[in-house]
Amino acid sequence: MSTNESSNAREAAESNEPAPAPRLQPISLTPPLEPSYRVEPAIDDDEPQQARIGTVVWGLIVIALAALLAISTLGWVVLDGTYVLIGLMIGAGAALVIGGVLAARKSAGKTKSPAR
């Protein structure tokens, strides 16, 4: 240690001034996020919007289960749960397959827009 450095150290020790506090920088914990939505172009009002086949089928399944549960609770019919589930699965599978085939036949004639 040189004499100049030792005198500076002595002066700093003798002064009663507190050492300057280090400046803290904020650190972001998450990266900047981009919007999770995309604005779609306006849709022509001439062309009606159609529900998805899966949505319709699952809605029908829920309605059928509710109806069967109500009928079973009223005591009009005694239902076996296994047979009910097998019947619902067969019906839902058939509805999804038939709906998919019909949608494919309907969209076969339309021109497809480029991928975005």
DSSP-assigned letters across all residues of 17-58: PPPPPPPPPP--SSPPPPPS--PPPPPPTTSPP---HHHHHH
Are 92 and 57 within 8 A, CB to CB?
Answer: yes
pLDDT at 44: 61
pLDDT at 46: 60
Nearest to 88 by CA among 65, 70, 71: 65
pLDDT at 19: 77
Q: Count of CB atoms within 10 A of residue 56's CB?
A: 14
pLDDT at 96: 87
Residue located via tokens 């400046």: 23
**Averages of pLDDT over each 10 residues, the chain, 116 residues:** 57 66 76 68 63 84 88 85 88 88 80 56
Q: How far apart are CA 12 and CA 19, in angstroms?
A: 9
pLDDT at 21: 79
pLDDT at 22: 78
Are 57 and 90 within 8 A, CB to CB?
Answer: no
